[in-house]
Structure 1
């Protein structure tokens, strides 16, 4: 296997690893906080709304948008690490 191909394979594996981590975080927030732990979180309030309801309606969307920016930052670093950044 050529050096260029092994570099691309390592890049892709690291990319997939980050993708699964970020999707796992989003799943935990949307499904966990919005559905599984809703009753426990509803004991707290955020802006007058029960926290479990807030996560189900708004929180998971906010977390998803934040994770998009985190993914962009991670991918920019990954691109530089493997030499795929635009110069």
Structure 2
């Protein structure tokens, strides 16, 4: 029973680590690129629009959707690693 508990604890620690990393990336993109660094990013144009504006309006949403797919892939690997993939 103890080994099952240890396995579950290790699983959730790794899961939380993935969540923290991915949410940090999303925060950096949405808050950093869309708000903090908007002025400097506006010097770059993307499709005729300033890059800071693009990140604030669409870029952070695209990054969030990509991070969802990355999370699903990471969790599938994690489930297989710990034997929770049945």
TM-score (norm 2): 0.98
**Aligned positions of 1:1-87 closer than 5 A:** 2-86=2-86
Q: Which ranges in structure 2 are unaligned for 5 or more consecutive residues?
A: none
Q: Which ranges in structure 1 are unaligned for 5 or more consecutive residues?
A: none
- RMSD over aligned CA atoms reads 0.8
Q: Residue 26 of structure 1: CA displacement?
A: 0.1
TM-score (norm 1): 0.97
- 1:13-49 per-residue CA deviation (whole Å, 9 max, x = no partner) reads 0000000000000000000000000000000000110
Aligned length in residues: 86
Would you identify which runs of 4 or more consecutive aligned residues in structure 1 move more than 6 Å?
A: none
**Residues of 2 paired with 1:82 and 1:73: CA distance?**
15
